[in-house]
Amino acid sequence: MKKKVVLVQDNKDILDIMDQVLDEEGFNVTSSLTTEPIEKIDEIEPDVIVIDDHIKGTKKGSKIVKELKTNPETEDIPAVLTSTSDKLPEIAEESKADDFIQKPFDIDHMVDVVKKNAG
């Protein structure tokens, strides 16, 4: 059974690269440039969510993670925050994210973090 990843990024190139790499690693990836998959989380039932802190035209990824982590129905879904911000460790901790991936990232590191959090 493939592990499911919801992937939300603000940059199409990065989204495509992450999607392709995770797909090759055997994940079932739902990728999006918007937060739409987050609204369907109970249908998708992901093993891990990877979300960028900066999503165009919507609230920050860190705010979404915080909302997921304070909702009893979604608090157990591992959430990984990505960002170019050098304050990412603090932002991730504040939003109760399970982990973070600093951009620009090393592909192997990204895969390791996703695998670790997907269980």
- If you compute the radius of gyration of the chain from its CA atoms, what whole number of angstroms results? 13
List the structure tokens of 25: 């690693």
pLDDT tens digits, one per residue of 78-116: 999 999 999 999 999 999 999 999 999 999 999 999 999
Give me the number of domains the chain comprises.
1
Provide the strand spans (E) within the chain: 4-8, 28-32, 48-52, 79-83, 99-102
pLDDT of residue 58: 81
Burial of 73 (C-beta count, 10 Å sphere; 0-12/13-18/19+): exposed
pLDDT tens digits, one per residue of 63-84: 999 999 999 999 999 999 999 9
Read off the pTM.
0.97
pLDDT tens digits, one per residue of 12-66: 999 999 999 999 999 999 999 999 999 999 999 999 999 999 998 789 999 999 9
Residue 105 domain boundaries: 4-118
pLDDT of residue 57: 78
Query: Which CATH number covers residue 23?
Result: 3.40.50.2300
